[in-house]
Chain A
Amino acid sequence: MRKKNSPDFDIDELLKKALKEDLPPEVEIGMKRQLHKFRKKIERPEPERSTRTVMFLRQFFHGPRWQSMRWIFRKDVLASTSVLLVALGGFLHISGSHNSLTENISLLGTSVLVYDQVSHTESMECSVEIPEEKDTFLKYSIQWLSPNLTRVQVKKSDETVFKTMWLSEEEIAIEDHIKDTVRKSKSVSRILDLQFKPVIELLSPHEMVEQLYGQWQLKYYERRAECELGIFIVTIPEEKAFLEITVDLCTYLPVNIKKFLLESTEAGGESKMLMKAEFRWNIPLLPQLMYPQSTKENQCV
């Protein structure tokens, strides 16, 4: 306790007097009110929005409704559920559960394998049928020998050959068996008849894989284990058509290709077949067959 004669006591008294004089009574009352409010706030602070949320959640979690459900969050229950989920996931995986990602990866994988196998073939024989009016077909017999020799025969439904084309790196020759003429050229596009256009993608394995690589859109793949065949569907948007390619799963080489009109399938009707091709791969072919043997008058274009 300070003594009355100490210098500090004097200063305190002076300050008290000065402040009392400086402070009007209404200000003093106001200050006291503010001080009271401040004290109250310190004693019980206004909760923040986040704190209020936490408090609400706390009240909820301590409430009777939550108490009855609390067993769900018991550690042993959670652990058992988690283990069950893992087991279920493992079981689903082993049992062969697939999603679209799996389907597409297998489609891509098969296409890549077909691309690779077709690119490495030595020879190809392909019979093509293109439906014409009234159950008649235009038939093609394509023979291809590595490195790049092709012979295409165009036949009528009764198997009579009316045109033959020989295609090599150097030149192209087309023999017309009806007119008895042979036309030769260095450029394919200059003399290629419209009659050969439907099979232009099948003239060689390279042509085919080029289409598969960059043009045909991969759509669907299905494995038929019972006959070791795989069927995949590709679409050709420019032609509004789709191809059904059946692949031998031992060699990954196409067994047959069927071309259908896309619109007929979309309309729910039966698919209209545009072409059917059957393949035989790596069979022995006579090289002399792959060059024109005709002694008839040649016509160079």
Chain B
Amino acid sequence: MPSKSHLNTKLKVLVRILIVAALVAAVILSGRFTDFLSGPGLVFVLLGGVALALMGFSASEIKAAFKHASGRTGTYPELQKSAYFWETCTRNVWTLGVLGSVISFIIALGISEGGILGITLRMSKSFLTTVYGMVFGVVCFVPALKLTREVNKLQHTEVPEAEEGRPESIFKNFRFDNIIGYALFIAVVGWVIASSLLSKPLDGSLSPSKFFIHWPSLLVVVGGTGVIAIFIGNVASGQSFTLGFALTGIIGILMGFVQVLISMSSRPIKDVASAVAFIISSCFVALLGIMLVGAPLEDHTFKVRKKNKQLTLSRIVWFVFPLVVFFVLALTFVLVITPVKK
């Protein structure tokens, strides 16, 4: 039978949830924030977040992380893993938010409904997904911070187990849950693209691949990542891929912007458009690469090797690169809707 204090704690949590739900409902019902509502964006960030969590962690690890976040104590390795889980959740929803914005931005350009006004409105609404990503990121960051503090406290009292012998292979940790995560992620991305494109009139025989696959940027980002990953080495750890995708993404963005600046003064609009498409597609491929390859591999590496310090560079990439993409997207939006006559 549950004790009285346990019931009290549950009641407190329930009251808190109810207060937050009432606040959210009041905000929505006030009608002032209808502009901030985007169903597909919300579903993308939430379901995508679940998928990405499953890609890097098993169901039991996720369950344990939730328990630890709600106040259950644990050993040093358990808490360390849970703290890392919440940190990855923050990373995942934030990156997903920006990736969702990139996808919505591309879709906004693909649907011609409503003339210039319609396209512009849809493009500006695509940034909502980033807001959702940021909000959920903050929500996930709270338990991450709380558990990290506990881990730091335990570090002084409990001595972590020393690693012995040859390190375990990270691929040994891949489980069925991770495959479900990948499948779910692909399904979520596919659903968002399909639902947005199929519900609106399209330009001729339009298929999503015609919009999302831009061969020049795809080849440059994937090839560039390959080169960087090979030269950095330790490919299985995932960090090389994270760095590779981010760096080639930035190179793609810079290449595109230089071309935009050159073309703006003397070349036809199609050249500017080609450069803008290159920028957007580079961002898309780089973010997708980090999400699908770099981040899950790094999560598995962390679980096996438990070296937090090695993640510093990756952390910078995880949180700074999506921010760069967000600003690039905003700049692209301004570029597209600002008339610049040759």
Contacts and interface: CB of A to CB of B under 8 A. Distances in A.
B109 A112 contact: no
Contacts of B255: 93
A92 B277 CA distance: 13
B115 A78 contact: no
Contact of B213 (A98, A99, A110): A99
Interface string B153-169: 00000000000000001
B110 A101 contact: yes
B214 A99 contact: yes
Contact of B110 (A85, A98, A104, A216): A104
B208 to A, nearest CB: 10
A115 B211 contact: no
Interface stretch (B184-192, B221-229, B302-310): B221-229
Interface string B263-291: 00000111011101110110000000000
B227 A214 contact: no
A67 B118 CA distance: 57
B277 A82 contact: no
Nearest to A116: B339
Contacts of A111: 115-116
Interface stretch (B8-16, B47-55, B61-69, B172-180): B172-180
B39 interface: no
Interface in A101-152: 101-106, 108-113, 115-117
Contacts of B172: 50-51, 54
Contacts of B214: 99, 101-102
A220 interface: yes
Contacts of A117: 339, 341
A274 to B, nearest CB: 20
B206 interface: yes
Given A100-B203, A100-B210, A212 B223 contact: no
Nearest to B222: A85
A92 B226 contact: no
A217 B110 CA distance: 12
B274 A102 contact: yes
Given A97-B215, A98-B274, A100-B206, A108 B336 contact: yes
A73 B114 CA distance: 51
Q: Is the interface of A mostly helix, strand, loop or mixed?
A: helix
Q: Is the interface of B mostly helix, strand, loop or mixed?
A: helix
A103, A111, A211 interface centre (most CB from chain B within 10 Å): A103
B231 A79 contact: yes
A101, A215, A219 interface centre (most CB from chain B within 10 Å): A101
Interface residues on A, range: 35 or more
Contacts of B175: 50
Contacts of B109: 101, 104-105, 108
B171 interface: yes
A102 B115 contact: no
Nearest to A120: B339
B289 to A, nearest CB: 13
Interface residues on B, range: 35 or more
B274 A96 contact: yes
Contacts of A225: 268
A92, A115, A235 interface centre (most CB from chain B within 10 Å): A92
B196 interface: no
A78 to B, nearest CB: 6
Interface string A181-195: 000000000000000
B110 A100 contact: yes
Given A50-B174, A217-B113, A252-B341, A223 B226 contact: no
Contacts of A87: 223
A113 B269 contact: yes
A81 interface: yes
Nearest to B210: A100
Interface string A219-243: 1100101000000001101000000
Contacts of B218: 89
A113 B339 contact: yes
B30 interface: no
B337 interface: yes
Given A82-B227, A82-B230, A99-B210, A92 B216 contact: yes
Given A101-B277, A106-B273, A113-B269, A212 B116 contact: yes
A49 B341 CA distance: 64
A86 interface: yes
18 contacts: A79-B226, A82-B223, A85-B226, A86-B227, A93-B255, A100-B203, A101-B214, A104-B110, A105-B109, A108-B116, A109-B269, A111-B116, A113-B341, A213-B117, A218-B112, A218-B116, A234-B115, A252-B341
Given A99-B210, A106-B273, A217-B112, 9 more contacts: A75-B230, A78-B230, A79-B230, A81-B226, A82-B230, A86-B224, A105-B336, A109-B269, A113-B269
